[in-house]
A and B are shown apart, each in its own frame.
Chain A
Amino acid sequence: MTNQVLFAQLLYGGSGILLILLGLWSFLVHAPLLRKLIAINVMGAGVFHILVAIAYRGIETPPDPVPHALVLTGIVVAVSATALALAFGKRLDQDADPG
């Protein structure tokens, strides 16, 4: 059972780290706003993956609720930030292309 938990945590935690690195790389390399924004969201998904992996304690044991609460709050924050960034981007787009 412990092996199973360890495997699941490694799988999810590892893919989380992979997502964070991919997101960070895209964020630094790509200039267009939309790509940067998606990159930030990929990074966020990676962090949430890791938090979910932390919460897992095996099939019979219920997962730790605290990291789940953190992920929920994090998603709300990420959605709001993405919305604000998109609003800014839309404004810039309208300015660049009048009429």
Chain B
Amino acid sequence: MAIQDPIVEGLAKGWNHIDASQVSAPLTLEADVVIVGSGAGGGVAAEIMAEAGLSVIIVEGGPLKSSESFNMEERRAYPNLYQQAASMKTKDKAIGIFQGRAVGGSTTVNWTTSIRTPDHALAFWAKEKSVKGLSTETLAPWFAKMEQRLNISKWEFEPNRNNMALKQGCEALGWEYTVIKRNVAGCWNTGYCGMGCPVNAKQSMLVTTIPAALERGATLVSRAKVAKIEYHQDKIFGLKAQALSQTLTPTGVELLFKAKHYILSAGAIHTPALMMRSKLPDPYGIIGKRTFLHPTVLSGALFNDAINGHSGAPQSIYSDQFVWQNGAAGDLGYKLEVPPVHPILIASKTLGYGQSHADLMAQFNQLQVTIALVRDGYHPDSQGGQVELTDHGFTLDYPLNNAFWEAARRAFASMAELQFAAGAEKVLPISEGMSMLSSWPQAKKAIAEMTLAPLKTIVASAHVMGGCPMGEDPKMSMVNSEGRSHYFDNLSVMDGSLFPTSLGANPQLSIYGITARNATLLAQELKLKS
């Protein structure tokens, strides 16, 4: 059975798409609104702007790929769809970072978990970070709107065995757990969300908001990397971009984008990096600081029965038992989830080599993996990371300090306890020096004594937030609570870089809801002006 590919069909119908790798001479394009990036923020902004009747250009650094090319192999997905072919790391190499780079941004490859911004986060931002007007009540209609738009609802299917272990462990221990809501329509439950949905069931920006904007006449320019924001006094007057080749290296052709209003949605890290490269005014030295990752530690467990963690909805159960236990500003909490288990992902995020690694890989189908996502950015000792420019790009300096390691140790213990309670035969905290543990009492002791350190303990993250925070006080924010620049009339930021702290929850729905609100307010204003 052939799968309908809305991208292929739309292009055939005459959508405005320019693949910049094919452009051979400099090009200037103009619109009411230019949006940089086509991920969670950019996609939603594009649809809302286009719906309001404004002319829109979406500039995306990555390629336009669609279900036709999603072949469920990591070797194709990572280089095509991820930043740095999924090998991005922090400056000291202690944390691996996953971020999307294609039309649809990270939503093209994300795992579909959809969670509204936690009350704790909103309350903290209002109290400590001068954020105004974003409360559970005021945001509720925006979340509801996006939940409806993206078909977000509870995943009523039986969880896959990987998620089932999380559920059973929580049940056995009396811990809280929640059935996850997912943004899917007609999902085949194959488990390959992270490699681009091959059947277009995931309601990512690639198949929802971006096609809707293109349907309304928006222009999409792919393989065009915005390199510089040009400004004079309090006005942005253009964006300079480089056309990229098929392999995403600059072709030497320059593109210029002009608009009445500019929206940066390049994602946390890239929006701040672009601002820094363009030397935008930053009197309080805020840009690129307080970047947050939900640094995540992993615990492997071997079960007697087949787990097949590669198969079925990658995430369908989470536990918030330990996220806010000590209050928002107290010791760092952590959220328990499971990741999908695929060959490269697991081979690279485990330890060792040679026979021991081969033995672990041979038990691939028996391997259950639990992850703990540490909620960073609330505690005074949790300042996150800092984007720095390099000759060729950027790096993220993200020191892992004691406050984090204390949380990580507690998290390793919780994960082991949970996995044994769910029936694991053996548990392996993924950190150098640890071996397979065979019981909870043994694990408890070993984890209390284990050495945790950067480069020794595997830490990863698929959630990048912050670096261009919102708020009313310019001393701690770059944009106001509606995402409008404090320094430029015609500049907004609509992506994950807005968050003043991490969320303590998977970010996509927070970005969708907050962008829907801010883009709607902006569209109304721009309409009045035109």
Are these two chains actual partners, yes or no?
no
Interface set of A (CB-CB < 8 Å, partner B)? none
Interface set of B (CB-CB < 8 Å, partner A)? none
